[in-house]
Every structure is written in C-alpha cells, then in structure tokens.
Amino acid sequence: MNGFEKNFEEWLEESLEQDIPDKVKAFSFNLYESSLREGYEFGIELIGAYRFDLNDEDWACDEVWEPPQR
C-alpha cells in the first residue's frame, strides 16, 4: 500500500467511526482542485446527505453531516 492509499484508508476509517446521525441516508465523496499551498493538486471530502436521488444531480448539496477532518 502506498502513502496515499494508507492515508486515505486511515482518514476514511476515522471519519466513519464518528457518530453519524440517523438522518444521513447517503454519502458523497466530493473531489476538488486544491491550492498548491496545501501541497496537493486535488483533494477529497466526505459528506452525509439526508437524501439520495439518482435523477437529481444536486442531492449531495443537502448535507447534514461531515466528519471532523473534512
């Protein structure tokens, strides 16, 4: 396992060990372009949404949870 995979796995496990409210019905991984000041070209964040709708591309905007280390 390389450094990224190890860091990602640890972050994900820590994130999902948090208290996740019952109202969370779906998770979304959001990929974004980060500033080079952060040392990475891209970033990823995890959110919990109260709904999922395959026909609504904005369903993940209904965020009700995020881990401490977003």
- Spans of all domains in the chain: 3-65
Dig out the tokens for 48 from the structure: 């919990």
Dig out the tokens for 13 from the structure: 């496990």
Residues in the chain: 70
| pTM score of the predicted model | 0.81
pLDDT at 37: 67
DSSP state of 39: T
Nearest CA-CA partner of 47 in 31, 7, 10, 8 = 31
Dig out the tokens for 68 from the structure: 């401490």
Q: What is the mean pLDDT of residues 42-51?
A: 93
* Residue whose entry in the numeric block shows the structure tokens 């080079």: 36
